[in-house]
Amino acid sequence: MTWNWQQADWPNFTYDATALEPLERQFLLHSGEFFGAFRHVNADDRDMLRIELISDEALKTSEIEGEFLNRDSLQTSLRQQFGLATDNQRVPAAERGITEMMVDLYRTFADPLQHDTLFNWHRMLMAGGSDAIQVIGGYRTHQEPMRVVSGRADKPTIHFEAPPSIRVPQEMNAFAGWFNATAAEGRSPLPALTRAGLAHLYFVSIHPFEDGNGRIGRAISEKSLAQNLGQPSLIALAYTIQRSRKAYYDMLEHSNKANEFTEWLTYFAETVLEAQRTTLKRVEFYIVKAKYYDRLRGQLNARQEKVISRMFRAGIDGFKGGLSAENYISITGTSRATATRDLADLVSKGGLTRIGERRHARYHLDLDNV
């Protein structure tokens, strides 16, 4: 198998720019809609929305790689780093590491991409510890091939083989030079989606680290989008990729054997546009959530507040199947009689709507009257 980096035209990528032009226009339009909606969130709620969006990206970019983190710990770490927490609650190393990387990305998006930036991100990601990794905070140096494989250990399927370690410093010098030269104020700026898509595939094709390449590659794409927009995008990129994880990996594999990238860039651009739509829906959902709590302020008991909070945590996808009386009992630890009274009270106050009767009754947040 001959990989893209072994081709004579590497890394002179080609693509059909005209096929991407309508997608680029949509991206700029949706960006304006998002920033406009975000400005309608008050300052305090804006901080909390920022925490929710960044924590979900941290959670989902890890899940794409098969690492499952704790959402509450991620949000605690983010509140501490943004100066919004008043305690020093201990956060596990893995959760703190990924959030440190995401906050650094958020704060320094405009800075040029440097080797030290990537090394710091790698140290943050590897904070959870792994005895199998020889080099943390530096490019790989091992002599054996760097491969992406699946299947049995004695008969693996090779999905990709990266350049040998001895070539990585040279390749990463070229990558960083290209990334910085194609920034919005660089010598030859590229449109936002095109640049972010090229950056992602270019970086993961080099695969410069022993582990963490996917997470860092997606962070580089978000840095690229933010640079083109002139502000952090807060886009739900990893959140969207994780929903169709197999398609993402299939497209990466399909695109790693040649340097004509139109198909990959179209896929990536459409994924970003879907991520934008998702992000806008989540901002609108958050605005509705704030109005919901304003309408019911002082009218809910502690049990009801706990359940409503749990339902909102399900996000724009909603509480799967609706809330049942059994769910209410499980969340609050209360009796069935109390649960029945609490639920009826929430319906009467316009906090919930009910579908079905008795044991088939299911409850949903009433967001139509906010």
Q: How confident is the model at residue 216 (pLDDT cuts 50, 70, 90)?
A: very high
Give the integer Cα–Cα distance in Å for 316 and 177.
40
- When the pLDDT of each residue in the chain is averaged and rounded to a whole number, the result is 93
pLDDT at 215 > cutoff 80: yes
pLDDT at 186 > cutoff 80: no
Residue 160 is inside which H or E element, if any? strand 155-161
Q: How confident is the model at residue 317 (pLDDT cuts 50, 70, 90)?
A: low
pLDDT at 44 > cutoff 90: no
Tokens of 220: 């580089």
Average pLDDT over residues 333-346: 97
Query: Are 87 and 76 within 8 A, CB to CB?
Result: no
Average pLDDT over residues 91-97: 96
Which is higher by pLDDT, 283 or 69? 69
pLDDT at 179 > cutoff 70: yes
pLDDT at 319 > cutoff 80: no
Average pLDDT over residues 241-268: 97
Query: Are 351 and 365 within 8 A, CB to CB?
Result: yes
- Domain limits of the chain? 4-285, 301-365
Q: How confident is the model at residue 293 (pLDDT cuts 50, 70, 90)?
A: very high
pLDDT digits (tens, 9 = 90+) for 346-361: 999 999 999 999 888 9
Average pLDDT over residues 88-106: 95
The predicted pLDDT at position 359 comes to: 84
Average pLDDT over residues 358-369: 88
Q: How confident is the model at residue 187 (pLDDT cuts 50, 70, 90)?
A: low
Phi, then psi, of 148 in degrees rounded to 5: -100, 115
pLDDT at 6 > cutoff 70: yes
Give the integer Cα–Cα distance in Å for 148 and 255.
14
The predicted pLDDT at position 132 comes to: 77
Q: How confident is the model at residue 1 (pLDDT cuts 50, 70, 90)?
A: confident
Could you tell me the CA-to-CA distances from 182 to 95, 167, 199, 201, 203 in Å, in that order? 32, 23, 10, 15, 14
The model carries a pTM of 0.89
Task: Return the CATH superfamily for domain 4-285.
Answer: Fido-like domain (1.10.3290.10)
Average pLDDT over residues 221-240: 95
pLDDT at 97 > cutoff 80: yes
Which is higher by pLDDT, 319 or 244? 244
The predicted pLDDT at position 42 comes to: 81
Give the integer Cα–Cα distance in Å for 45 and 365.
20
Can you give the three-state secondary structure of the chain, one letter per residue? Answer: CCCHHHCCCCCCCECCHHHHHHHHHHHHHHHHHHHHHHCCCCHHHHHHHHHHHHHHHHHHHHHHCCCCCCHHHHHHHHHHHCCCCCCCCCCCHHHHHHHHHHHHHHHCCCCCCCHHHHHHHHHHHHHHCCCCCCCCCCCCCCCCCCEEEEEECCEEEEEEECCCHHHHHHHHHHHHHHHHHCCCCCCCCCCHHHHHHHHHHHHHHHCCCCCCHHHHHHHHHHHHHHHHHCCCCCCCHHHHHHHCHHHHHHHHHHCCCCCECHHHHHHHHHHHHHHHHHHHHHHHHHHHHHHHHHHHCCCCCHHHHHHHHHHHHCHHHCCCCCECHHHHHHHHCCCHHHHHHHHHHHHHCCCEEEECCHHHCEEEECCCCC
Question: Looking at domain 301-365, does it have CATH number 1.10.10.10?
Answer: yes
The predicted pLDDT at position 78 comes to: 96
Assign 148 to helix, strand or coil: strand
